[in-house]
Each structure stands twice: as structure tokens, then as C-alpha cells.
Chain A
Amino acid sequence: MKEFRFRILVILGAIALSIYLLYPTYADYNNNIYVEEQLAQIKDNILNADPNISISQMDQRLSLKEDSIRTSDPSYRENREKRIKLGLDLQGGMYLVMEVNTARLVERLARDADPTFKEILAATEAEAKVSDLDLVSILARRFQEKGIRLSRYFGTIRQEDSEIIDQLQEQESDAVNRAIEIINNRVNQYGVSEPSIQKQGARRIIVELPGIAKEEEAKRLLQGRALLEFKMVKDADFAIPIMNRIDEILASSANIEVSNNETESTGVSSIVDDSSSTDQLSPEEFEKQHPFYSIALINPQSPYADAFVKETDKAKVLNFLNRMEVKNAIPDNVEFIFGAKPEIVQDGENIYRLYLVNKQAELSGGVITDAQSTLNPQTSAPIVTFQMNSEGAREWARITGSNIDKRLAIVLDGVIYSAPNINGKILGGSSQIEGIGNLDEAKLMEIVLKAGALPAPIDIIEERTVGPSLGQDSVSQGFNSLLIGFVIVAIFMIFYYKKGGNIADFGLFFTIMIILGVLAGFSATLTLPGIAGIVLTMGMAVDANVLIYERIREELATGKTAKAAVESGYANSYSAIFDSNITTFFTGIILYQFGSGPVQGFALTLMIGIVASLFSALVLTRLFFDIMVAKGIKINVG
């Protein structure tokens, strides 16, 4: 048995690894059932308390509750991240390919879109629909054919056509980046789990939104102009008392007695500056007495009253802020808004900033004409400069003049990207944002500012939506096929190859476990054709076994000993097995390259299946036979 130890260990190791990798999927499945049950109960409770609640409000509350259940136990998130990813055709969801409508973009960029321009543009649009070339090139060609220089409509008189073409193409690419940021932002706020937004080529965006039950809402998310606004951030003097009140309301509504009256009655300074009093309380007590402040942390050293909230606590904060009692405590003209991106990362957790701003915007982003991210020539620090139109410039001068040393938040689609300090009155509309961490951040600000100015018109050129019911049906159909297929093949193998069949069946089971384990381990996506691929692999996997067994039968028939028959049986089958499987593997690679989504899933399981079944046939079953030969057990291949 000693010589087998290594192989046995390898195989047992592989099985153990697969089980380990597959466990989160199982755990997540159970978690989901639990959450569903809880939510159903909560839904009943809400309906009992408030029968006339509107559907959208109910959905909002339910999703907040769901978030809080899921975040209460960190293992939920872990299992969710490590489980086997289901493709959109199994989860339900939307797959979209979006493309910048360059024609519209070009039209907006043109200085003066006269009838000639519109005519040429229309013809270009029609041609671009069926051509492989990009619109800008076609447009340039058509202008050239008519003998009109591009500088008539774009750029400056002195610029050559080729320069303008480059500029236009850059605008196109910029527009795509803008659109991606906006979509990213909105999708994050909407709360889709595991969304995927990717740029493809120069003009396209691929968006995958799994698990969207209301597809129309999702489509809503992706279109429509982005709203850029400038809102004043409230001072600490204004914000702290409001936050104190919120904290009190939440603490008292949880019916917890305040043990130390002193800390409550002494207002602002004691909570924020007097750290000694808070040191007397243990973390749990602090949480009870200050439910708001325990998750919305304020930096006592900072002059600003921005709160810092962990990503996992965001839902809780929103929950708090949505309560009736709390809403009443917040004045009508202000609101709390989160930052768009996490400020810092502490202990692996993203921390977001929470601002208190005026509800009414001082200025809307439509007045911005341009924005650039560059390096400050003197300090080499990253900055963002932007310009406004004359109407905007006037307003801007007024706003900046009367709000010196206050902060102005730049809000895009309801989240704050930056809240720079107003250092002085700005005339002429041309401004500069400093204090930006790095060039990437500056680039982001540029995108944000431009988004308000020049929205990117986007078209959906491909869209595939699978409703959740079809998704679930597909999952059960897929797994039924898997199960039934396995049973049928297994029974057949035992029937035809007797004990050898048993061994082959064990190899088959092993193969399937390995395939699923690899999918889980690499976070690959399982699609319905992918499951079909596994079913197919089962049929083809036994091929290697069949080749070997037939060969062993032949060798035994020539009178060789069991040991020799097994050896030559395996040896002679190698070439056939390799050559045939490599060619199938090769078509799998091609399919993976050229397929998309579901088809890629099929190619993937096919390829993994081939490798796994080769391993199982050549190593696992060989091990069984070798052990049998060593122990003198009779070899039986039917």
C-alpha cells in the first residue's frame, strides 16, 4: 500500500478541496432560504401595522431590512462571495450592451449644426449602422468628399482634419467613461448585487445586472440625464445639534435608560470634545446610549461635522434616517447625503463620509462648459479646473462671494463626489479644485463635472433579460438533467462493465465534484449551457474508461495476467485518449474565445470537464485497479 500512498493522498486532497470550495454555495443556499422566511414575516408585520403602505415604500423598507439581516452576520457575505456564480440565465437578470450614440454627441459638439451638417450627419448615421468603421471616420470621409473642412464645425480654424478626428474620437471615448461612471454610481445606489459594468472597445459598455426582478426599473437606471448639482454643506454649529437630536431620539425609542445624565444634558462639546466622558462607557453601553454616533463616527479633531460610516453600516444609517421620528427632527431644508466613494479603508472596511447639506441646490451642473484634470504647474499637485457659461459665472460669483470659507458639495445623481472649501469669490466662472489626493481622483472629478455638462447619449444595442421565474426553472431543469443523466450513465456502466463499471462511476462522481469545485474556486460563472456541458461531459467522460476497459478486455483475452493486462490496457489507450480529447478541448477554447455569456459557460465546463475526466480516468481509476491487482482481487471488466 505504501506506493499508493502518494496517489491516495492527492485524490483525497482533491476531494477535500472541492468540498471546501463548494461549501459556501451550500451555506449560501441555506442562508437565502432563511432570509426569505424572515422577510416574509417582516412583510406581514409591516402590512399589519400599516395596511395602506405604498408598494415602493414597502420595497424600500424590505430591502433595508434585508441588508441589515445580511450584514448582521459576516459569514453571510463571505458565503455569498465564495459561492458558485450563477449566470444571468440561471439567476434572472439583465445583460446589456450599450453604445455611445456618437452621432448625437457629434451633433452637440458642433458649433453650428446647419442643414448641410445635419444632412451629412444623417447619411453618416445610416452608413454607420451597417458598417464596421466608426462614425467619426465615416463622417470625416463624407466631409472630405464634399470638400468641406471639419474645422468649419469643430475646433479652431487652424486645425487640420486629422487633428479634429483625433479630438472627436477622444470625446467619444471620454463619453463612454462618463457613462460608465454614471451607470456605476446609479447601480451602486440601487443596490444590485454583483453588478458588472465594463468597457468594451472604444465605444461600448457591457452591463450585467443579476437578479433584477423589475427590469424596467433597471432600464430606467441606465438612461436619462445625470443630474449634477452644487449644494452648500452645513457648518458644524448647525449639524451637530441635529445629529444630537437624532441620537437622542433613537436612544430613547429603543427604551434604554440613560445611565449617566451628565453626558446627555451638556450638549455639543461633551459628546464631541470631551472624550473622557465617553471613555467611561463600554462599547456596548455606548452603542445603546448613542445608536447614531456609534455607527456615524465624528472626528473630534476636525472642524467639520461630517460623520464617517462603515460600508456595512450604511444601510443601518439609512434605516435610522428614514424613521418617522427622525425625519421630523431634521429640518425640511436640509438632507444627509453620502459620499460617492469610500474615503479611507480601515481594517479592510470601506468608510464613507456622511454630509449634511442644503436640499436646494445653489446651482445645477448644466452651466459647466468644460472641465480638465491636470497638474498644478507650481506645486505639481493634481487639480481640476472647470469653466462655466456666462449665466453660470454670474451665479457662481454670487454664491462664492457670500459663502467664503464654507464648503460646497458637488453632487452627481444624489451622491457627493467632493466638497471643496470656497476660498474666495470667483469671478468669470473659471475655477480650480485643489486638495485632491491623486491624478485618478482628479480624473474622476473631471468626469463628474463633465457629466453634468455634456451627457453622453447612450443606446442599448443588445439586451437580454431573463425573468426570475425562468431563471429558477432553468436551474431546476439543469440540475434534474444532471442528476438523471448521472444515474442513467452510472447504471449503464455497471451493467456493461460490472465491477469496472463501479470504479468508472466513482470516477464520474469525482469528475463532477472537481468541475464544480474548480468553478467555485475560480469564481467562474455557471450558465444553463454550462450545466448542459457538464451533462455532456458525463457522457464523454466515460469514453476514456470505455477505451481502457475495452483494451483491458482484449489484453485479458490474449491470456495476459491481470497486472499485465491492466498495464498494457492503459498504455495502449493513452494515445487515443489524448488525441481525441485534445481536439475536443481545442474546440472548447475556440468556443470560449468567440462565444459570449451562456456559450462561454458551456465552453468552460466542457474544458474543465475534459481535464477532470482525464485525471479521473488515468489516475483515479488506475489507482483502484493497481490496488486491486496488488491485493490480488480479481479484475472484472465485464
Chain B
Amino acid sequence: MRLFENLNIDFLGKRKTFFFVSVIVILIGFLSLIFRGLALGIDFKGGSEVALQFENEIDISEVRDQVNQIGLGNVEVKTFGGTTGIIIRTEIQEIPREIFPRVISTIETLIDRYYPGTQKTIIDSTYNSVTYSFDTPEITEDLNIKLFNAGFQTSRISEELNNTGIIIRIGISDWIKENLIEKYADNKFTVLKEDKVGPKIGQELKRDTIIAIGLSLIGILIYLGFRFKWTFAVGAVAALFHDVLVTLGLFSLLYDVIPGLNLEISLAVVAAFLTLVGYSINDTVVVFDRIREYMKIHKTLGLQEVMNRAINRTMSRTIITGLTTLLTVIVLIIFGGEVLRGFAFVLFIGIVVGTYSSIFVASSFVLEYALKNKKQIHF
């Protein structure tokens, strides 16, 4: 079976059209980036994230109302993998000082429920914990277990047998769980995953990501500069920028448009972008390799003609490889689960765009660059 057997399209002749299309798409993406911005996951923003799985269907807006009232500031509630899962995200890592009294009174109400009238004294409190002292070791140990089951993180302050103190950690996820456990006693939930990222880590990850992307681009530029002429290296990297910008723009544009598709920049998404950089270069290099070969053979033909021939000849390979890779990515989108969805989506768009750029954009850049600078290219 053959596809594109005797293709002979004048790709480079039509390059103005393709530039135009690309510019439009990039512009739309740019506008979206400026006005809508990019949704950053907690990996970069910092914050806390809790994913809960309920036994039965759960009403998101109901949960949202609940969670908005417990004093954690801006809280996002979204679906997570179907109608029984939700993911709750806050921007802070620790309980705000202002609602501490509320938390304390909730704890004390609980204690009173189990041991009405018992002596309870706060002997220490920090920004994320409070330490109580009780009358007897037995009460202490029992409350230790009961408060733990109610959703708080509790632990004895000493391992001794006559211990009468408990330290209760009050983290965001604990507070969320505590507040939801009572409301949803008939629709029990389990915690699927919990993430908490401090602001410093978020900053560091941002910095690392930018360095990583920068290094990749430089490395690719150098390597291609060696293997091909400088002009080609520049053209390849230009096509790369094109791919990343378009994908990023689409990412921003489609945020919240498709239900169930969580399009935010997380570590995995950054990894996907770097992968797409690798793939796009891969693609472009194959075309350039053919151009290089033809230039050695057909020394008399002009650059444009050589490029056209090369692209036409490699078309079937480009499409086939793009197709097989795309198929595997589609498999990931459908079967890979919630965690991989954003990642797979970036790859999907990236491969489509990357293939487009390898055919229509990369060589055109090189040609333009060569013409503008009146460079003669020899291998």
C-alpha cells in the first residue's frame, strides 16, 4: 500500500500562505495567553490539592459551596476522573491565622462530644498545630484515636505510658476532610491523592523548568549547527518556537472549554512540551537530512527545487510516523487515566503541529533566511 507515491507539490512556492496561517494561529494563541493567561498547577503556584473519590455521584456545586465557607480563601473544585471524583485546590499551604479559632472550636466540640465536660488545656500552639493536655492517659489515648478517625492528624506527645498530651496537626487537607466528613456521612469518600507544594518549591520548579527548556534549545542548536549548516539549525529552532507557541496558545485557548480536560501547566505538562520539542526536531531533521543529501547529488538545482523534492519524497514517512505516534497518544488520552490526560493532550497537539511545521514551515524558514542574507549553502 502506498501513500503519496508520486507527490509533487510546490510547498516552498506557497510558503507565504503557510506563513500567514501560522502567524494567525500564533496571534490567536498570543491573545489568549495575554487575556486568559495560562493556568498554572500547584507545582508552580504552590498550594494544596486534594483529590477525593466518593462512593456515589457527587454534586460539584454543593461541594464547592461547602468548601468555600470553611475559610480557606480561593478554593477551586473540579471533577476528577468521572462523576464520583473531585479535586479541591487552594492557594495556601497552611491554615490562615484568622480561622484558627474556628478550627479550635471544632476540635473542642468534637472532644466534648466524646467526653463531655472533660478538662482540656491547650499547652502549645504553632502555625500548624495545637497541643492539648487531658486528665488521664486513657482519655488521652482514646481521643487520640477518635480525633484521628474524624480526619485530624493526631499524635501523642510522648511515648510514655502516662502520656496525657496530644498534638493535633491542622493541615489544609485535614480541615477540608473534617468539614466534609460530617456533611457526606452517607456518601463516604476516600482520599485518592494529596499534594502540597510550598511557595519556595514552586519558585524553584519554575526556575528549573526555564533552565531546562533553555538548555535543550541551546543544545539542539549546537548539535544541528554541527551536523547541518548554521542556516538549517536556525530554521529548525525557529520551527520549534513555532510549535511550542502554537501548542501553548491552544492550551490557553482551550482551558475549561472541554469538560473533564484539565489543562493546566504541571510538571508532567512541561515534560510533554520538552518531549514535543524532541519529536518536532526529530521530524524536521529527517526532512533536512534528505535536503542535505539532495544538495550533494543535485548540485545544479536551486535551493527551492531541492527542498521541494526532499519534502515530497519524505512525505509518506512523515505522515506515517506522525500517524503511528499519534495513535499511541490517542490510546493514552483514552486509556491513560486522569493523571496523564493533560500530558497526552499536549503531545497530541504537539505532534500534529510538529508534523505541520516540518512540512510547511521549517524549510520555508531556511529558504527565507538564505534568500534574505543572500547566502549560498554548500554541504
Q: Are B191 and A584 in contact (CB under 8 A)?
A: no
* Interface window among B11-19, B250-258, B326-334: B326-334
76-100 of chain B: CB within 8 A of chain A: none
Q: Are B157 and A528 in contact (CB under 8 A)?
A: no
Select from chain A the residue with minimum beta-carbon distance to B340: A532
**B107 CB–A CB distance under 8 Å:** no
**Proximity string of chain B (278-299) to chain A, C-beta cutoff 8 Å, 1 when within and 0 when not:** 1101110110011011000000
* Interface window among B28-36, B61-69, B213-221: B213-221
Q: Are B321 and A542 in contact (CB under 8 A)?
A: yes
Distance in angstroms between the alpha carbons of A330 and B227 in the assembled complex: 78
Min CB distance, B157 to chain A, in Å?
Answer: 7
Query: Which residues from B are CB-within-8-Å of A488?
Result: 327-328, 331
Min CB distance, B180 to chain A, in Å?
Answer: 16
Q: Are B157 and A461 in contact (CB under 8 A)?
A: no
Query: Chain B interface residue count: which class?
Result: 35 or more
**A72 CB–B CB distance under 8 Å:** no
Q: Are B219 and A590 in contact (CB under 8 A)?
A: yes
Q: Are A591 and B215 in contact (CB under 8 A)?
A: no
Query: Which residues from B are CB-within-8-Å of A540?
Result: 279, 282, 321, 325
265-289 of chain B: CB within 8 A of chain A: 267-268, 270-271, 274-275, 277-279, 281-283, 285-286, 289
Q: Are B289 and A579 in contact (CB under 8 A)?
A: yes
Q: Are B337 and A477 in contact (CB under 8 A)?
A: yes
**Proximity string of chain A (29-60) to chain B, C-beta cutoff 8 Å, 1 when within and 0 when not:** 00000000000000000000000000010000
With contact pairs A216-B148, A496-B1, A599-B271 given, residues A543 and B282 touching in the complex (Cβ less than 8 Å): yes
Q: Are B193 and A583 in contact (CB under 8 A)?
A: no
With contact pairs A89-B339, A469-B53, A488-B328 given, residues A464 and B282 touching in the complex (Cβ less than 8 Å): no
Distance in angstroms between the alpha carbons of A542 and B320 in the assembled complex: 9
Query: Which residues from A are CB-within-8-Å of B283?
Result: 580
Distance in angstroms between the alpha carbons of A590 and B275 in the assembled complex: 10
Distance in angstroms between the alpha carbons of A493 and B320 in the assembled complex: 10
Min CB distance, B33 to chain A, in Å?
Answer: 23
Min CB distance, A367 to chain B, in Å?
Answer: 15
Q: Chain A: interface secondary structure?
A: helix
Min CB distance, A478 to chain B, in Å?
Answer: 7
Q: Are A532 and B324 in contact (CB under 8 A)?
A: no
Min CB distance, B319 to chain A, in Å?
Answer: 10
**B194 CB–A CB distance under 8 Å:** yes
**A97 CB–B CB distance under 8 Å:** yes
* Interface window among B110-118, B197-205, B359-367: B197-205
Min CB distance, A468 to chain B, in Å?
Answer: 9
Query: Which residues from A are CB-within-8-Å of B146?
Result: none
Query: Which residues from B are CB-within-8-Å of A484?
Result: 331, 335
Query: Which residues from B are CB-within-8-Å of A536?
Result: 275, 325, 328-329, 332, 347
**B153 CB–A CB distance under 8 Å:** yes
Min CB distance, A7 to chain B, in Å?
Answer: 26
**B211 CB–A CB distance under 8 Å:** yes
Q: Are A602 and B271 in contact (CB under 8 A)?
A: yes
Select from chain B the residue with minimum beta-carbon distance to A482: B331
With contact pairs A478-B336, A583-B278, A586-B220 given, residues A485 and B155 touching in the complex (Cβ less than 8 Å): no
Q: Are B332 and A576 in contact (CB under 8 A)?
A: no
Distance in angstroms between the alpha carbons of A540 and B1 in the assembled complex: 21
**Proximity string of chain A (221-251) to chain B, C-beta cutoff 8 Å, 1 when within and 0 when not:** 0011101000000000000000000000000
**A424 CB–B CB distance under 8 Å:** no
Distance in angstroms between the alpha carbons of A469 and B196 in the assembled complex: 19
Distance in angstroms between the alpha carbons of A470 and B337 in the assembled complex: 10
Query: Which residues from A are CB-within-8-Å of B191?
Result: 215, 465, 467
**A339 CB–B CB distance under 8 Å:** no
**A163 CB–B CB distance under 8 Å:** no
Q: Are B194 and A465 in contact (CB under 8 A)?
A: yes
Q: Are B200 and A539 in contact (CB under 8 A)?
A: no
Q: Are B1 and A529 in contact (CB under 8 A)?
A: no
| Residue from B157, B224, B327 within 8 A of A485 (CB atoms) | B327
Residue of A496, A536, A550, A598 with most chain B CB atoms under a 10 A cut-off: A536
Query: Which residues from A are CB-within-8-Å of B23?
Result: none
**B311 CB–A CB distance under 8 Å:** no
Q: Are A477 and B274 in contact (CB under 8 A)?
A: no
Min CB distance, A481 to chain B, in Å?
Answer: 5
**Proximity string of chain A (531-573) to chain B, C-beta cutoff 8 Å, 1 when within and 0 when not:** 0100110111011001100100110000000000000000010
**B192 CB–A CB distance under 8 Å:** yes
Query: Which residues from B are CB-within-8-Å of A111?
Result: none
Q: Are A532 and B332 in contact (CB under 8 A)?
A: yes
Q: Are A219 and B196 in contact (CB under 8 A)?
A: no
Query: Which residues from A are CB-within-8-Å of B220?
Result: 583, 586-587
Query: Which residues from B are CB-within-8-Å of A462?
Result: 196-198, 201
Query: Which residues from A are CB-within-8-Å of B184?
Result: none
Residue of A359, A469, A492, A539 with most chain B CB atoms under a 10 A cut-off: A539
**A463 CB–B CB distance under 8 Å:** yes
Select from chain B the residue with minimum beta-carbon distance to A221: B155
Q: Are A470 and B51 in contact (CB under 8 A)?
A: yes
Q: Are A481 and B279 in contact (CB under 8 A)?
A: no
**A474 CB–B CB distance under 8 Å:** yes
A462-B197, A480-B335, A532-B343 given; name 5 further pairs at CB < 8 Å: A465-B195, A539-B324, A543-B325, A550-B316, A583-B223
9 example contacts (A-B, Cβ-Cβ < 8 A) are as follows A463-B194, A467-B190, A492-B327, A528-B340, A546-B320, A547-B317, A576-B285, A584-B278, A586-B216
Which residues of A does B touch, CB under 8 Å?
A: 56, 89, 97, 129-130, 215-216, 219-220, 223-225, 227, 359, 413-414, 459-467, 469-470, 473-474, 477-478, 480-481, 484-485, 488-489, 492-493, 495-496, 528-529, 532, 535-536, 538-540, 542-543, 546-547, 550, 553-554, 572, 575-576, 579-588, 590-591, 593-596, 598-599, 602-603, 606, 638
